[in-house]
Amino acid sequence: MPVKNSNEKNKKISSKNQFDSSRRNLLKSVGVVGAAVGAGAARPQIIAQDSLETSPISREALEVLTAEEAETLESVCDCLIPSDEHGPGAREARAVHYIDKSLASHNKDARESYMLSLEAIDKHAKKTRGQPFYRLNLDYQNSILLAVQNDKVPGCSPSGSEFFNIVRNHTIDGTFCDPYYGGNQNFVGWDMLKYPGVRLGASESDVAQGAALEPNHQSAYDIDTYTKAASNNATNQSRGEDNA
């Protein structure tokens, strides 16, 4: 029996180590520039924390996601970029709100993948652990997400590993994008990266301060020059389509 208990403990430690990439590694892989524009091209390892409470996200007005999907997805996002002793994460940044909005617009092609995969994840959680995914503890959530990543959860679309990459990238987008797009609430993502915010210019003093520069907590869409340029660009594109 002691050998069995020791093996189980080692398995838990191994699983935890696989998932517990540090926030430092996450920030290195995202990069300030990519995060500032919401490119979402980084590939951090999955990290997680306990989360047992029902999220207010399920009670918000959602554009695409159902309340049940939003609860499951918020727990997944919270596992991917958790809050910890160093600061807030995807939950506080409202990454799910960004994903919900994006599934109604530029990420609408991924809607079916989210619908099928979130249902599969929750169904797997109920079947194997007897509880919805969002109610499970850290170890169980980690084990299920690892199973998704390794294509061992049936029903995920287009596959478990592909959906895992999709939701991971969208979680990064929602945590570090310009707040205009629905995520990065209160600029928590930019503060995490020590990104000082959008500026039309920088003085020598600003450059010298580097990461110590006081953040201005300003969206690009708060700047008239940027907003007008974006509006003009959209108008020109529309005219081009009309003339095509």
Q: State how far the alpha carbon of 80 is from the alpha carbons of 84, 86, 234, in Å.
A: 12, 15, 34
Residue 233 lies in a domain: no
- Which residues does 169 contact at the CB level (< 8 Å), separation at least 6? 40, 41
Q: In the prediction, which pLDDT does 210 show?
A: 74
CA angle 140, 75, 116 (to 5 degrees): 90
DSSP β-bridge partners for residue 87: 84
Residue in the block written with tokens 């050998």: 3
Question: For residue 12, what pLDDT is reported?
Answer: 43
Structural domain range at position 155: 42-193
Global confidence as pTM: 0.72
Is 19 within a domain? no
Instruction: Please tell me the predicted confidence (pLDDT) of residue 241.
Output: 54
Predicted local confidence at residue 231, as pLDDT:
61
CA atoms within 13 A on the CB side of 43: 4
Is 66 a domain residue?
yes
Q: How many domains does the chain have?
A: 1
pLDDT tens by residue, the chain, 244 residues? 443 444 544 444 444 444 445 444 555 454 433 333 333 333 333 333 333 344 555 456 899 999 999 999 999 999 999 988 878 999 999 999 999 999 999 999 999 999 999 999 999 999 999 999 999 987 899 899 999 999 999 999 999 999 999 999 999 999 999 999 999 999 999 888 888 877 777 778 877 877 777 888 888 888 876 665 556 665 555 555 555 5
- Domain assignment of residue 158, yes or no: yes
- Would you say residue 140 lies in a domain? yes
The terminus-to-terminus CA distance of the chain in angstroms comes to 75
